[in-house]
Amino acid sequence: MDNYKIKFGNRLKELRRNCKMTQRVLAEAAGVDVKYISRIETGKSSPSFDVITKLASALNVPLEILFHFPKDVTKEDLIKDLCEKIKNAELDKVKLISKIIDDILLF
């Protein structure tokens, strides 16, 4: 359960930052204490359904968006995804991708 508290907190922080809001601005818009927002974002507190509804409204997002957690991605998943993208790219873009990868791996 704690893992979901952390995931929810991370998602809230991500959405808040996407909206270019501070914790204080979000807290005021949702009618909660700024320390409470901090505790939610760090996974130390679990908001009630009423507070979750207020947070979604303050962020101007559908409620369910707060529960769209990123999937845990493995190295193999990323490699597979990159291979698919590269397969579908034009030659000039594949060359550019190759150069970027070479440059990154040199460090």
The whole-number pLDDT of residue 2 equals: 61
Domain range for residue 50?
2-67
Q: Do residues 92 and 59 both lie within one domain?
A: no
Q: Do residues 37 and 62 both lie within one domain?
A: yes
The domain tally of the chain equals 2
The whole-number pLDDT of residue 71 equals: 78
Q: What is the CATH number of the domain that holds 54?
A: 1.10.260.40
How far apart, in whole angstroms, are the C-alpha atoms of residue 46 and residue 102?
Answer: 44
Provide the CB-side half-sphere exposure for 32 (13 A, CA): 23
The whole-number pLDDT of residue 70 equals: 77
Q: Do residues 61 and 87 both lie within one domain?
A: no
Q: Do residues 57 and 26 both lie within one domain?
A: yes
List, for the chain, all residue ranges whose pLDDT scores fall below the cut of 70.
1-2, 107
